[in-house]
Structure 1
Amino acid sequence: MGWIVTLVVGGLIGWLASKIMNTDAQQGVIANILVGVIGSALGRWLFADLLGIGAAGAAGGFSLAGLLFGVLGAAVLIFLLKLVGVFK
């Protein structure tokens, strides 16, 4: 059951980040899920571990702070993927 929630929340986070970064037309459902899950892990590492923001530890969780930091991490991931040419 935990994996299903992870996929659903990851898909939501990836979709929101793709809307913010204007890559929604280039991404499908699988890409949204992957960007959401990996971006949430990146957001937790970047904002909670490196910058010490306490609420960022919930990145990827189904809470307001978890969604916010998950989307921020996914947006950073999309930005990095744009730099290497994966997205236009």
Structure 2
Amino acid sequence: MQGLGWLAAIIVGALAGWIAEKIMKSDHSLILNIVLGIVGALLMNFLLVTLLGATLGGWIGQLVVGILGACILIAGARMLRRA
């Protein structure tokens, strides 16, 4: 299975980070949204492959994975700030 490519990863990462930002009711910059979306997708893909042996493919699948991963990262950052 082939990945999305750099441009698609940036677009999907930005969209995933923005959606996660709205879900988690936080406020970030465009660059941080892109980073959260891409790193979140990497994190969730790793977890899905490790736990289930597969991940979601395509733009929509990677968008969902990126949103979930970015939400986890935002929640983790909030937990660290409170501690």
Question: For residue 31 of structure 1, what is the aligned residue in structure 2?
Answer: 32
Identity across the alignment (%): 35
1:62 matched to 2:59: yes
Aligned residue pairs, count? 78
Which of residues 5, 9, 28 is equivalent to 2:8? 5
Matched AA of 1:43: M
Q: How many Å apart are 1:57 and its aligned residue? A: 4.5
* Runs of 4+ with >6 A deviation: none
What are the equivalent positions in structure 2 for 1:15-30 lying under 5 Å apart?
Answer: 15-23=18-26, 26-30=27-31
Deviations 1:26-76 (A, max 9, x none): 201001000000000011112232x2063x253xx412x222122111111
> Matches of 2:19 and 2:53 in 1, distance apart?
22
What is the SS of the residue equivalent to 1:62?
Answer: helix
Q: Is 1:48–1:57's contact at 8 Å kept on the other side of the alignment?
A: no
Change (3 A) 1:53 1:16: farther
> Matches of 2:72 and 2:49 in 1, distance apart?
15
**Unmatched runs of 5 consecutive residues or more in structure 2:** none
RMSD: 1.9
Matched AA of 2:13: G
**Unmatched runs of 5 consecutive residues or more in structure 1:** none
Matched AA of 1:71: I
Q: Is 1:17–1:75's contact at 8 Å kept on the other side of the alignment?
A: yes
